Amino acid sequence: MPGALPDIDLRRYRWIRNGVVVWMTAVLLGAFLLDIPRINILEHTARNLYFHVPMWFTMMAAFFVSAYHSFRYLQTEAPVRDVRAEQAAVVGALFGILGLLTGMMWARFTWYVGTGKWWNFDPKQTMAAVQLLIYGAYFVLRSSIEEPRKRARIAAVYNLFAAVTLPFLLYVLPRQMESLHPGAEGNPAFSDITHPIMRLVFYPACIGFIGLFWVLYTQRVRMTLVRKRLQDHLDPEPAL
């Protein structure tokens, strides 16, 4: 059913893509050029606030976009919703992996200096890894079901459950324990040591990375829709 696959608004896509490119360039410049206070242990790595933290915000945004489309799939059964849910989860997982790796790099040369530790089971680190495993299972689940409609429906239900665990694993549980991450012991997310000037770059960085997610995600959706069209065109017989 070729008519069932809607087009992407390419004009809007290009505007946002170009905007993201310019915006992120400005964020990068601000991240390195803006003077920030030096803190013991942290030193310049405080600048990682502009890179490491937005990874997680972007991952959460991506997974919620994915969950939204899974929810809509269950309502409408439109194949495009399944495509969008899957691709948002793929790009979200990319940002999650980058969040873990950047966090490892950051901690290794600040709090774990002299210990040689790359991984220390910090509560938030551990929960984030669990979260990624939960989404890893989403992809395994998808690839294990052959029949497209069944796969889309079951994956959508699983995806909604996966999204529900997200706030608990990334916010509720880590805050009950001692952690390197701010927010532990009931503090708000920004700790006292975050100089106000850093918000000037931090918030734009979050917006920029979420924009970058949107660009990558839309590219993937376009590609998958082309693939489906090709499939319908060359082989109109099978399901979907």
Partner 1 sequence: MTIHPLHTLPDSTQAGLSTPYDSVWATAGVPTAEPVGLERVMLAEDKLYVVLAVVLIIWAGVLVFLFRNDRRLARLERRLEQGTPPEPGTHLD
Binding to partner 1 in span 1-30, by CB under 8 A:
28
The interface region with partner 1, picked from 7-15, 63-71, 110-118, 166-174 by CB under 8 A, is 110-118
Under rule CB under 8 A, residue 111 binds partner 1: yes
From 74, 97, 154, 157, residue interacting with partner 1 (rule: CB under 8 A):
97
Question: What's the closest the beta carbon of residue 133 comes to partner 1, in angstroms?
Answer: 18
DSSP codes of every residue in the chain:
-GGGSPPP-HHHHHHHHHHHHHHHHHHHHHHHHS-----TTTGGGGGGGGTHHHHHHHHHHHHHHHHHHHHHHHHH--HHHHHHHHHHHHHHHHHHHHHHHHHHHHHHTTTTTTTT-S----HHHHHHHHHHHHHHHHHHHHHH--SHHHHHHHHHHHHHHHHHHHHIIIIITGGGS--SSTTGGG--SS-TTS-GGGHHHHHHHHHHHHHHHHHHHHHHHHHHHHHHHHHHHH--SS--
Kindly state the smallest distance separating residue 238's Cβ from partner 1, in Å.
Answer: 5
44 phi and psi angles, rounded to 5 deg: -70, -20
- Of 11-19, 127-135, 162-170, 185-193, which segment contacts partner 1 by CB under 8 A? 185-193
Query: Quick one: 68 or 108, whose CB is closer to partner 1?
Result: 108
37 binds partner 1 (CB under 8 A): yes
Least separation in angstroms between CB 232 and partner 1:
8
With binding defined as CB under 8 A, does residue 199 bind partner 1? no
Nearest approach, Cβ of residue 78 and partner 1 (Å)? 14
Contacting residue, 7, 40, 140, 186, with partner 1 by CB under 8 A: 40
Residue with Cβ nearer partner 1 (51 or 57)? 51
CB of 164 to partner 1, least distance (A): 23
Q: Which amino acid is at 91?
A: V
Smallest separation (angstroms) from partner 1 to the CB of 170: 18
Give yes or no for a contact between 220 and 91, defined as CB atoms under 8 angstroms apart. yes
By the rule CB under 8 A, 78 interacts with partner 1: no
